[in-house]
Amino acid sequence: MSQDQRLWPANARVAHTSLQGQVAQPLVAGETYRVAVPVLGLYCAPDARQLDRQMVLGQAFCVLEIHDGQAFGFMPAPDGRPSYVGYAAAHGLAQGGPAPTHRVAAIRSLAFAGPSIKTPDPVPLPFGAQVAVTAEEGALMQIATGQFVPKAHLAPLAQPALSPVAVAQLFLGTPYLWGGNSAFGIDCSGLVHAAFQACGRPCPQDSDQQRQHLAGARLELGTPLCPGDLLFWRGHVAMACTPDMLIHANAWHMAVAYEQAITAQQRIAAQGDGPVLCHLRPS
């Protein structure tokens, strides 16, 4: 049986120490880097043309090696195990500096070079970006890079959001992007991951992983929906926001959109992607 490469922290040259006894490659513990750009792509291979997932500013990435400008490693789960393995551009990662203290809780924000919202050419920041606040300047917070971010757009990491549904609704209208994980472009599983992550709840990255591993009750198909329930199809996931309405990032609307649950089920079946496979009520 082949390994799931999304969870297998090894390539032809190096492997993570968690694979001791299973591989012949030299073993390394890896070093923790953080994303140093607003959004950074993660790919299954260094020459891949299809985006697999994305990471946002401040997110941790365990680097096992840097080779030809590509960092190979994994996004760590809360317990340190690999949650997604891949390659990212090494120039988008950095070591050192203070640990993040806050996250961007607005759907998007701006980082200004000076302590004024009139400072030109701010850097866009996506929802979930993590920053280290070092000082407060009126309505702005200075972060470790020396930039300034609106205080109203930040929340302490120690204060997670309360509702995955409310977080998902922030993304309404966000363009659909295969493999996307940010407010600049997101896909179905990226939306669910962002919603749960903001609430401090562990969540796998891809929809098949979410269907298999998210904790909760697997309900009989046809059970009435409750807000926060997840419906899974082959390669797709949607979240219930009312008993008859879903919110999901989808290629039909090319955006995060509301859709009647019955309409979505009929449309997805009609386009050849089959019936609902699982109704999950996350715990």
My answer on whether 194 and 241 are in the same domain is yes
Q: Which residues pair with 75 in a beta bridge?
A: 84
Question: pTM for this one?
Answer: 0.96
Q: Which of 94, 116, 145 is the last residue of a domain?
A: 94
* 1 — pLDDT class (breaks 50, 70, 90): very low
Mean pLDDT value across the chain: 97
Q: Which of 47, 64, 94 is the last residue of a domain?
A: 94
- pLDDT of amino acid 3: 84
User: Per-residue pLDDT tens for 197-218?
Assistant: 999 999 999 999 999 999 999 9
**Per the domain annotation, does 260 fall within a domain?**
yes
Q: Distance between CA atoms of 182 and 180, rounded to whole angstroms?
A: 6
**Per the domain annotation, does 257 fall within a domain?**
yes
Q: What is the CATH classification number for the domain harbouring 263? A: 3.90.1720.10
My answer on whether 255 and 203 are in the same domain is yes
User: Per-residue pLDDT tens for 18-44?
Assistant: 999 999 999 999 999 999 999 999 999
My answer on whether 183 and 257 are in the same domain is yes
Give the distance, in angstroms, between the CA of residue 39 and the centroid of all CA atoms in the same chain: 10
* 2 — pLDDT class (breaks 50, 70, 90): low
**Per the domain annotation, does 5 fall within a domain?**
no
Please name which of 58, 137, 61, 149 lies closest in space to residue 98, comparing C-alpha atoms: 58
Q: Which of 94, 118, 146 is the last residue of a domain?
A: 94
My answer on whether 113 and 34 are in the same domain is no
**Per the domain annotation, does 180 fall within a domain?**
yes
My answer on whether 192 and 273 are in the same domain is yes
Is residue 197 within 8 A of residue 77, CB to CB? The reply is: no
**Per the domain annotation, does 225 fall within a domain?**
yes
Q: What is the CATH classification number for the domain harbouring 119? A: 2.30.30.40
My answer on whether 77 and 115 are in the same domain is no
**Per the domain annotation, does 7 fall within a domain?**
no
My answer on whether 202 and 277 are in the same domain is yes
My answer on whether 171 and 272 are in the same domain is yes
Work out whether strand 15-16 and strand 27-28 pair parallel, antiparallel, or are unpaired: parallel
Average pLDDT over residues 48-73: 97
Residues spanned by the domain of 114: 102-156
Work out whether strand 148-150 and strand 82-89 pair parallel, antiparallel, or are unpaired: unpaired
Return the biggest CA–CA distance within the chain.
58
**Per the domain annotation, does 224 fall within a domain?**
yes
My answer on whether 183 and 271 are in the same domain is yes
User: Per-residue pLDDT tens for 76-91?
Assistant: 998 889 999 999 999 9
Residues above pLDDT 70, as percent of the chain: 99
Question: What amino acid is encoded at 256 in this protein?
Answer: V
- pLDDT of amino acid 214: 96
Query: In 10 A of CB 231, how many CB atoms?
Result: 23
My answer on whether 132 and 68 are in the same domain is no
How many domains does the chain divide into? 3
**Per the domain annotation, does 3 fall within a domain?**
no
My answer on whether 169 and 278 are in the same domain is yes
My answer on whether 88 and 112 are in the same domain is no
